[in-house]
């Protein structure tokens, strides 16, 4: 989805790279799927519309806080919001399903503090959970850390492979203080430089939060 936001500087092209949060959005097997319940509605003659949701915090496009895998590690509300605002690099890698994104895939392009990796290995992520997504190799986290990357995003529902038990990538990210955004929707988005906006909700003490992830033209966000 794209749209035009109009500010003082004129129209800005906005690319929405987040999953729509709607009933039917697949959750990780065994986790609580997103569901919205309307308790008051205009159709029913109520004066207003009121709804609530039940959902895993790992629904659709979401930030994993270090707390997710590190006992005592920062929760989502303790992360610096500026991590989620600013220059990023979108990289499209050619990996088969179930394979790993390795350091060589990212050679020469780790030139931004935020890196988003498009694997293209999920055929229909808004309607069907696939176990065959490509994930990151643990060595890739070392390469990201060496390059000064603070945030890594991926179009897969996890940075580790589906059947990983010891979750080495999650742990390596926590060790290096790199936060992860999982479940990005990057199909059809051109690789290159952008500014990212993907701030998590301030959910106290939480392991994760859904985010609205947007790509803006590079240089749109000026924080200093
Ligand atoms: Zn997650």
Q: Going residue by residue through the chain (224 aa), what tens digit of pLDDT does each one get?
A: 445 444 455 688 999 999 999 999 999 999 999 999 999 999 999 999 999 999 999 999 999 999 998 888 899 999 999 999 999 999 999 999 999 999 999 999 999 999 999 999 999 999 999 999 999 999 999 999 999 999 999 999 999 999 999 999 999 999 999 999 999 999 999 999 999 999 999 999 999 999 999 999 999 998 86
Residues known to be catalytic = 68
- This prediction has a pTM of 0.93
Region 2-20+58-216: CATH code: 3.50.30.50
Taking alpha carbons only, the member of 64, 76, 62 closest to residue 21 is: 62
Predicted local confidence at residue 1, as pLDDT: 45
Cα 37 to middle of ligand 1, angstroms: 23
CA 142/CA 118 separation, integer angstroms = 19
Contact status, residue 67 vs residue 75, Cβ threshold 8 Å: yes
Query: Domain extents for the chain?
Result: 2-20+58-216
**Which residues are within 5 Å of ligand 1 (an ion), measured at CB?**
58, 64, 182
Taking alpha carbons only, the member of 66, 86, 77, 90 closest to residue 17 is: 90
Nearest-10 Cα torsion for 69, 151, 123, 207: 30
Predicted local confidence at residue 11, as pLDDT: 81
Cα 17 to middle of ligand 1, angstroms: 16
């Amino acid at each position: 989805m794209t749209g035009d936001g109009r500010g003082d500087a004129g129209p800005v092209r906005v690319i929405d790279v987040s999953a729509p949060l709607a009933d039917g959005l697949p959750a990780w097997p065994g986790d609580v799927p997103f569901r919205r319940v309307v308790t008051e509605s205009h159709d029913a003659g109520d004066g207003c519309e009121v709804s609530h949701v039940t959902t895993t915090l790992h629904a659709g496009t979401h930030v994993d806080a270090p707390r997710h895998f590190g006992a005592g590690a920062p929760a989502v509300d303790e992360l610096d919001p500026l991590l989620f605002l600013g220059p990023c690099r979108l990289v499209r890698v050619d990996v088969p399903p179930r394979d790993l994104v390795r350091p060589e895939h990212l050679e020469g392009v780790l030139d931004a503090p935020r890196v988003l990796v498009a694997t293209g290995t999920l055929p229909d992520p808004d309607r069907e959970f696939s176990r065959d997504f490509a994930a990151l190799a643990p060595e890739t986290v070392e390469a990201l850390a060496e390059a000064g990357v603070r945030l890594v995003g991926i179009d897969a529902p996890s940075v580790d492979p589906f059947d990983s038990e010891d979750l080495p990538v999650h742990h390596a990210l926590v060790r290096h203080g790199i936060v992860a955004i999982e479940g990005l929707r990057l199909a059809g988005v051109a690789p290159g430089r952008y500014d990212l906006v993907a701030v998590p909700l301030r959910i106290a003490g939480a392991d994760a939060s859904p985010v609205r992830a947007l790509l803006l033209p590079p240089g749109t966000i000026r924080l200093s």
